[in-house]
Chain A
Amino acid sequence: MKRIRLLLLLTLFTTVFCQAQEYKASLFGCISDGITNNTSSIQAAINFIAEKGGGRLSFYVGRYLTGGLELKSNVTIELHEGAVLVASSNINDYMQFENERALLFGKNLKNVNIIGKGVIEGDPGEYFQIMGELKSKQFLQPGYLAHTPSLITMVSCSNVKVEGIIFQKSLQYAQKYISCDHIDLNNQIIRNNTIENSGSVVFQNTKSITLKNIFIDANGQAIVKDRNSEITMVENCITASGTAVL
Chain B
Amino acid sequence: MNTKRYIVVVMALLLINSYVKAGTTDTIYNASLFGIKSNGTTLNTTSIQKAVDYISEKGGGILRFYVGRYLTGTIELKSNVTILLEEGAILLGSTSIYDYNIKEPIPGLLYAKGAENIAIRGKGVIDGQGREVAYNLVDQIHKGVIEDPMKYDRPDNKRPHCIYFRECKNVNIYGIIIKNSATWVQTYDQCENVVVDSITVMSTTFWNNDGIDIVDCKNFKLLNSYINAADDAICLKSHDKTKRNENVEIRNNVARSSANGIKFGTVSAGGYKNIRIVNNKVYNTLRSAFTIATPDGGIVEDVLVDSLYAYHTGNPIYLRIGARWNDQRTGVIKNVTIQNFYAEITEEKPDAGYEIEGPVEDNPRNISPSSIVGLKNMIIENVTLRNIEISYPGNGNPNYAYRGTSAKELSGIPEMEAAYPEFSQFKELPAWGFFIKNARNISFENVKLIARNKDYRPAIVMDNVTGSSFKNVRIEEPGVKKKNQIVRNNSK
Contact = CB atoms under 8 A, between A and B. Distances in A.
Interface of A: 24-27, 31-35, 58-63, 80-84, 117, 119, 166, 168, 189, 215, 217, 238-242
B142 A27 contact: yes
B400 A82 contact: no
Interface stretch (B306-314, B316-324, B330-338, B358-366): B358-366
Interface stretch (B4-12, B77-85, B113-121, B148-156): B148-156
Contact of A189 (B131, B142, B364, B398): B364
B325 to A, nearest CB: 22
A80 B151 CA distance: 12
A238 B361 CA distance: 21
Contacts of B142: 26-27
B359 A33 contact: no
A238 to B, nearest CB: 6
B138 interface: yes
A24 B150 CA distance: 9
B364 A215 contact: yes
Contact of B355 (A35, A80, A119): A35
Contacts of A168: 360
Nearest to A24: B153
Contacts of B138: 26
Contacts of A117: 361, 363
Interface string B389-416: 0000000011110000000000000000
Most central of B131, B135, B150, B356 by chain A CB within 10 Å: B356
B399 A34 contact: no
B152 A217 contact: no
A82 B359 contact: yes
Interface of B: 131, 135, 138, 142, 150, 152-154, 207, 355-357, 359-361, 363-364, 397-400
Contacts of A81: 359, 361
Nearest to B135: A31
B49 to A, nearest CB: 32
A119 B364 CA distance: 12
Most B CB atoms within 10 A — which of A26, A83, A168?
Answer: A26
Contacts of B360: 82, 84, 119, 166, 168
Given A63-B357, A80-B152, A240-B400, 16 more contacts: A24-B153, A26-B142, A26-B154, A33-B355, A34-B356, A34-B357, A35-B355, A60-B153, A61-B207, A62-B153, A62-B356, A168-B360, A189-B364, A189-B400, A215-B364, A215-B400
A239 B363 CA distance: 16
A192 to B, nearest CB: 14
B210 to A, nearest CB: 16
Nearest to B360: A119
A215 B397 CA distance: 12
A84 to B, nearest CB: 7
A61 B357 contact: no
B153 A26 contact: yes
A177 to B, nearest CB: 24
A33 B207 CA distance: 9
A119 B360 CA distance: 8
Contacts of A58: 153
A25 B153 contact: yes
Given A34-B357, A82-B361, A215 B153 contact: no
Nearest to B349: A168
A61 B152 contact: yes
B138 to A, nearest CB: 6
A117 B399 CA distance: 19
A83 B399 CA distance: 25
Contacts of B361: 81-82, 117
B38 to A, nearest CB: 29
Nearest to B398: A242
A118 B399 CA distance: 21
Nearest to A83: B359
Contacts of A80: 152
A166 B360 CA distance: 9
B95 to A, nearest CB: 15
B480 to A, nearest CB: 19
A172 B356 CA distance: 26
Contacts of B355: 33-35
B356 A189 contact: no
B149 to A, nearest CB: 11
A27 to B, nearest CB: 6
A45 B331 CA distance: 46
A49 to B, nearest CB: 15
A241 B154 CA distance: 40
B201 to A, nearest CB: 18
Contacts of B152: 60-61, 80
Contacts of B135: 31
Contacts of B154: 26, 60
Nearest to B142: A27
A166 B363 contact: yes
A168 B399 CA distance: 17
B118 to A, nearest CB: 33
Contacts of B399: 215, 238-242
A238 B398 CA distance: 11
A60 B151 CA distance: 9
A240 B359 contact: no
Q: Which residue among B142, B153, B357, B399 has the maximum number of chain A CB atoms within 10 Å of its CB?
A: B153
A83 B150 CA distance: 15
A26 B143 CA distance: 12
Nearest to B356: A33
Q: Which 5 A-B pairs have the closest CB atoms?
A: A82-B359, A60-B153, A242-B399, A60-B152, A24-B153
Contacts of A189: 363-364, 400
A27 B135 CA distance: 11
Nearest to A191: B400
A82 B287 CA distance: 14
Interface-centre pick from B131, B138, B360, B399 (highest chain A CB count, 10 A): B360
5 contacts: A25-B153, A62-B356, A82-B359, A117-B363, A240-B397
A60 B154 CA distance: 9
A110 B400 CA distance: 32
Nearest to A35: B355
Nearest to B399: A242
Contacts of A84: 357, 359-360
Contacts of A166: 360, 363
Nearest to A168: B360
